[in-house]
Amino acid sequence: MSSGVDLSQFYDTFFDEADELLADMERLLLELDIDDPDSDMLNAIFRSAHSIKGGAATFGCFGHLADTTHLLENLLDFVRDGEMHLHQELIDLFLETKDILSDQVSAYRNGEAPEEETYQRICARLRQIAEEHAEGGGNQPETSQAAESIAPSAPAVEPPALVETVIKETPAPTSSSMGTEADLPLRITVSNASDKDLAVLREEMALMGDILHEVKGETSLSLWLKTTASADDIEAVSCFVVNEDQLSIAFEAIPTESKEAPSAVAPAEHSASTAPAAPVAPEPTAAEAIAPESVATASEPKKTPVEDKTTTKPSAKKSTKSASASSSRGESSTLRVGVEKVDQIINLVGELVITQAMLVQTASTLDPVVHDRLLNGIEQLERNARDLQESVMSIRMMPMDYVFSRFPRVVRENAARMNKEIRLETRGAGTELDKSLIERIIDPLTHLVRNSIDHGIESPEQREIAGKNREGTLTLSAQHQGGHIVIEVIDDGGGLKRDKILKKALENGLTTNENIPDEELWQLLFAPGFSTAEQVTAISGRGVGMDVVRRNIQSMGGHVQMFSREGQGTTTRIVLPLTLAILDGMSVQVGEEIFILPLSHVTESMQPTEEQMRSMTAGDHVMYVRGEYLPVIFLGDLFSVEGYETDMKKAIAVVLQAEDMRFALIVDHLIGQHQVVVKNLEANYRKIPGISAATILGDGSVALIVDVFALHRLTRDRNAASIATLS
C-alpha cells in the first residue's frame, strides 16, 4: 500500500510469527501418524501455511514466501481432504519446504533476496506433485492451474498473521461467503473508534476495493465494500488500526434506501485485486475454498467443484465462530513487546537495585530509634525492589519447549542416517529459562543429542543381542533446582567404556591415573581433540565438539557433568543460572579491593590451620579438608593486589565447587551476601582473565566478579599432578 498505514512497521512481528508457525508446522509433521493421520493436526498444519501465505501476500513484497506457501497449501489441502495419500516421501518434502520457508523468512528479515535457485526448485517440485495428482484423477484440476500462475504481490491472496489478535480461525462470515452470498459486498463495521482511526481505516478499505456505501456515526463507521480480497485480509489490515473487539465483518446487502445512489470509489485508483476480471481472481477462490476457516470472495461463484467441496463441512461456521470467540478472549490479555524494551526495563531495575543498596548501606549508620520510620521505609523499598526485579525478569523467561521442539526432527533424520531406531521423549518442556540463555543453549544441546545418537545408542541388532528393545530411547528433561535450571540428555545406550577412555587419555598425554574416579574420567571427554570414535561419521567423531560444548556452557555461568554405567546408558547434565542479569554473590575483601564470588559455587568457608596446609613444589599449596586435598589459590597473588593478608592464621579460605572439582580460595575477609547487578566488563573495558564481569556496590565503587571456571582451569592444570601424588 502506498498510503495510509505504513505496514513496514509490522514486518518484525510478521517474521516472528512466521517463525513460530513454521516451528509448529515442523512439530506437527513429525508427530503425524502416516498410516492414520489426525485430521485436527492436518488442519493445524494447513492453517500455519495458510496464515504465512496470507501475511506475505498482504505485505506485497514477500513474493517468494507467498508463492511457496501457496503451493504447499494446495498439497496439504489434498492430504487433509483424503484426496492424496500421505507417505514418508511426502512428509520429507513438506519438511524440506518448511526449511526453505525458514530460509526465506530469514532472508527477508535481513533485507536480502531469498535464494532464487532453491525457490525455483522447490516450487517446481511442489507444482509437479500437484499436477500429477490432478492428472491422476483428482477432483480439483483447477487448483494446479492456479498454482502455475501465482502472482506473488497480489493482495487478494489469503490472510496474514500479523499481530497476535489474528492468529485464530476466522469468524462466521467465512462459511457464509459461499454460494449465494459470494456476490454480496462485505459490510465492515467499526465502533468506539476515534475520528483519526476511522479516517485511516476508510482510506485503507478504499485501497482494498470499491466502497459502495457508508454510514458514519460519532464514533462508528460502516462500509459496504466490493472486493476480491478475503474477509481475513480485511480483518488483518483493520486490526492494524483498531482492536478486534471494535470490528465486525459480514456479508450483507446494501440497505434498500441507499441502493439508488451508492457511494462509489473509482476502481482505477486501486490495485489489481479490486478488478473482478483480474487474472489472479481464481487463485484466492481455489486456495480459500479448501480452507474451512477462509472466505471465498471471487466475483464468479460458479465453480461448482470448489463450492460443493466446501459446503460438505456444515459445522465449519459454528466451530470457527466458537474458536474465534475463545481466541479473542485469550489473546486480549497478550501483548507483544520488543526485546529491547524489556532489556531497557531490566537495566532500569538493575539501577534501582544499586540505588536501593546504596540507601541500605547509608541507613546502616543511622540511629534506629531516631530514624525508625525511615529505616522501615527502606526495608519496604528493599522488598519491593526484589519483587519488581523478579517480576521483570520473568518477562524474559521462555519455556524449554522452544528448544525441545527442535529435536524430534534432529533425532528422526540422524537416526535414519545411522540406521538406528530411536524414540525421543521430553520432560519439563514448560520449565522456563531466560531468553538470552535459551537461544545459546540450542547449539550445545544439539551436539550432545547427535553424540548420543552416534556413540550412545546402539544399532537395533546390537540392542537385541544385549537383550534390549530394538528401539532406543533418548530423553531430554529440564527442571528447576533452586536458582538454577538442570537440563539433562539421557540415553539408554551402551554407556561409556572406562578402559577405552582411560587408554585414550594416556595416549593423548592427559594427566590421569588408573584410580581416577569415573566422574573425573568422564570430564576428559571435554578435552580439546579428545575422541574415542574409531571412525569419523557425518554426525561426530572428530573430537572437536565436546570442548566447545563445555566452553559455551561455562560462558553462560553454568557447568556440565556426565554420569554413565556401561551397558545401561549415559546422562549428560547441564546446570545453568536462570538469568545472567542479576547474581546472588558473596563479597570478599583482598587488600583494599572487593571481589564478588557467585554464591552458587560457594560450598563453605573456614579459617585454615597450619595442620591443614601443605606446601608443594614450585610454591603451590594444597589444603586438607574433610579427607580431601584441595588446590589452593591466593586471590591477592593471582590478581597482584597490594597489601593482601599473607598470615594464614588471619586469612579466610572459601571452598568453591566448579563442575567435578573443589578448590580453596584464600581471601582476607568475608563481607556478606547480597544481590548484584551484572555489568559486562569486556564491552566497557577489556577482557580480564579470571574475571567474568563487574558490578556497582552500594557505596558506588566497582567490584569485580570472579570467573570460577577460569580459576578451576588454572587450578586443574597447575595442581593435578601434585594432588594425585598426595592422594
What torsion, rounded to 10 degrees, do the Cα atoms 654, 658, 660, 661 define?
A: -40
Phi, psi of 267 (to 5 degrees): -70, -15
pLDDT band at 6 (very low <50, low <70, confident <90, very high): low
Q: Which residue has the cell 439508488?
A: 260
Tally of CB atoms within 10 A around 672: 8
Burial class, 532, CB count within 10 angstroms (exposed 0-12 / middle 13-18 / buried 19+): middle
Superfamily of domain 399-577: Histidine kinase-like ATPase, C-terminal domain (3.30.565.10)
In 364-430, which ranges are continuous DSSP H helix? Answer: 372-395, 401-404, 407-417
CATH number of 7-148: 1.20.120.160
Show the CA angle centred on residue 542, arms to residues 710 and 533, nearest 5°: 105
Beta bridge partners of 398: 433
Which among 141-155, 283-297, 529-543 has the top mean pLDDT? Answer: 529-543
Reported for 482-485, long-range contacts at CB under 8 A and 24+ positions apart, including other chains, are: 482/600, 483/577, 483/578, 483/584, 483/600, 484/558, 484/575, 484/576, 484/577, 484/578, 484/600, 485/400, 485/431, 485/433, 485/575, 485/576, 485/577, 485/578
CA-based radius of gyration for the chain: 32
What torsion, rounded to 10 degrees, do the Cα atoms 357, 363, 368, 369 define?
A: -140
Whether pLDDT at 518 is above 90: no
Q: Which of 97-111, 134-148, 446-460 has the lowest mean pLDDT?
A: 134-148
Which of 715, 598, 593 has the alpha carbon at shortest distance from 661?
715
Q: What's the pLDDT tens digit per position in 577-621? A: 887 777 889 999 999 999 999 988 899 999 998 888 888 766 678
**CA-based max dimension of the chain:** 107
Residue 263 or 212, more confident? 212
Whether pLDDT at 182 is above 60: no
Q: What integer pLDDT is reported at residue 536 of this predicted model?
A: 53
Whether pLDDT at 202 is above 90: no
Instruction: Name every residue whose Cβ is closer than 8 Å to that of residue 322 and which is 6 or more positions away in sequence.
Output: none
Please say whether the beta carbons of 681 and 688 come within 8 A.
yes
Q: What is the pTM of this model?
A: 0.59
Domain layout of the chain by residue ranges: 7-148, 164-331, 339-396, 399-577, 582-726
Q: Which residue has the cell 467443484?
A: 305
Q: Do domains 164-331 and 399-577 have the same CATH topology?
A: no
Please say whether the beta carbons of 622 and 629 come within 8 A.
yes
Angle, in degrees to the nearest 10, between helices 116-135 and 88-109: 150
Which of 592, 590, 555 has the alpha carbon at shortest distance from 574?
555
Residue 537 or 57, more confident? 57
Percent of the chain with pLDDT over 90: 22
Give the strands of the sheet with 247-251, arranged side by side.
210-216, 221-226, 186-190, 247-251
Q: Which three cell numbers stand for residue 205?
A: 478499505
Q: Let me know how many helices (H) and strands (E) the chain has, helices first.
A: 25, 22
Which among 177-181, 291-295, 356-360, 712-716 has the top mean pLDDT? Answer: 356-360
CATH architecture of 582-726: Beta Barrel (2.40)
Inter-CA distances, 583 with 109, 349, 378, 437, 558, Å = 34, 13, 21, 15, 13
Q: What integer pLDDT is reported at residue 511 of this predicted model?
A: 64
Q: What's the pLDDT tens digit per position in 56-92? A: 887 878 889 989 999 998 899 888 888 888 888 999 9
Residue 637 or 313, more confident? 637
CATH architecture of 164-331: 2-Layer Sandwich (3.30)
**Distance, CA of 392 to CA of 344 (rounded, Å):** 11
Q: What integer pLDDT is reported at residue 258 of this predicted model?
A: 46
- DSSP single-letter state for residue 526: G
Q: What's the pLDDT tens digit per position in 357-408? A: 888 888 888 888 888 888 888 889 888 888 888 888 888 888 999 899 889 9
- DSSP single-letter state for residue 334: -
